[in-house]
Amino acid sequence: MTTHVTIIGAGLGGLTLARVLHIHGIPATVYEAEASATARSQGGMLDIHDYNGQLALEAAGLTDEFRSLILEGREAIRVLDPDGTVLFEKADDGTGVRPEVLRGELRQMLLDSLPAGTVRWGHKAGGTRALGEGRHEVTFADGTTVETNLLVGADGAWSRVRPLLSASAPEYIGMSFIETYLFDSDTRHPAAAKAVGGGSLFALTPGKGILAHRESGGTLHTYVMLTRSQEWFAGIDFTDSAATVARVSQEFDGWAPELTALITDGETAPVLRPLNALPVGHRWDRVPGVTLLGDAAHLSVPNGEGANLAMYDGSELGRALAAHPDDVEAALTEYEQAMFTRGAEAAADGTQLHELLYGDKTPHSLIDMFTEPEPTP
């Protein structure tokens, strides 16, 4: 295949696609809005699943490199009552199939696997338009343009490529999380560190919760989940960290101090992360010369599958293009039909998990899930 692939977005999905294409000798360029690989924090921990994310990394020829990034012990789980009582605990005994890695380290691994110059930093897509006969033009924020015979939108929830294929847009699901960090927690925040344990913490009541994850060393990454309207959050001045912490912590009045400390002792400015989703089963009719992957294609209620699916989409698209070197449309059709199915299944699973986490029966509904035998994918 000699068609040059234009990828918008240097997230995990776009980079996995670029890597698989490189392995198969297919040229690609990735355009990324960020100014550099270190322009912003890349988020927290990811559990990489054996039935999609790990398969994607295998297709990318990066299994050994991935294994070197795994943080041992982080598959441990604790579920606490708001008063601090441990309701459920599962140690990481080394038999788990969803090892944890830091998103930023995983992304850097993918970047390092690509030829120099593959990623063009500082190229924020501003719009796209069809030119006919499967060709498309991307206009960047600086006014420059690129024309391509094969365009892939790997540019996330608010994709600039998606309008070429679909009129759908993400909608707010009624819940947001507020993110913050505690550092050197074993020494400086021992009670909170003990509550979290070695892996993930869930402290939940219907409609809200405090979740945390132990990252490298004593770093605790906290996610405070609240079911509130966008207007409610708009009433908080997130530029005033102290006032934000005070307002959010009010929602957990009476909870154990080792849990609320994950909010009140945060050492980074609280960051609001509204949760949005595309319609479950989002799909489109085949449009020559363009497709989507990851959140651009099937943004859903968070369920731990987002990064895994993005990488798997990228690897499957790359493999399809390699398998049909003389028929791009056959490759895109094959890829999309399978992707639509797995995207819809993941979205449905996300809705179900959301109910287990924040519905009327939480946290016991979540504990029941942890104690039931895991089905074979």
What single-letter amino acid sits at 150?
L
Would you state the pLDDT for residue 52? 96
Q: What is the mean pLDDT of residues 94-117?
A: 94
Give the start-to-end residue ranges of the domains of the chain: 5-42+49-72+102-169+279-358, 171-277
pLDDT tens digits along 127-137: 999 999 999 99
Q: Are 358 and 288 in contact (CB under 8 A)?
A: no
pLDDT tens digits along 46-81: 999 999 999 999 999 999 999 999 999 899 999 999
CA 277 – CA 305 distance, rounded (Å): 13
Would you state the pLDDT for residue 217? 83
The CATH class of the 5-42+49-72+102-169+279-358 domain is alpha beta
194 — phi, psi (to 5°)?
A: -65, -40
pLDDT tens digits along 171-210: 999 999 999 999 999 999 999 999 999 999 999 999 999 9
Q: Say whether domain 171-277 belongs to CATH 3.30.9.30.
A: yes
Q: What is the mean pLDDT of residues 160-175?
A: 97
CA 288 – CA 27 distance, rounded (Å): 19
Would you state the pLDDT for residue 302? 86
Would you state the pLDDT for residue 177? 95
If we measure between CA atoms, which residue out of 271, 265, 273, 317 comes closest to residue 296? 317
pLDDT tens digits along 17-53: 999 999 999 999 999 999 999 888 777 899 999 999 9
User: In Å, how far are 10, 156, 299, 313 from 153, measured between CA atoms?
Assistant: 10, 8, 13, 11
DSSP 171-213: EEEEEEEEEEEE-SHHHH-HHHHHHHTTSEEEEEETTEEEEEE
Percent of the chain with pLDDT over 90: 89
pLDDT tens digits along 238-275: 999 999 999 999 999 999 999 999 999 999 999 999 99
Token code pair at residue 44: 């927290």
Q: Are 213 and 220 in contact (CB under 8 A)?
A: yes
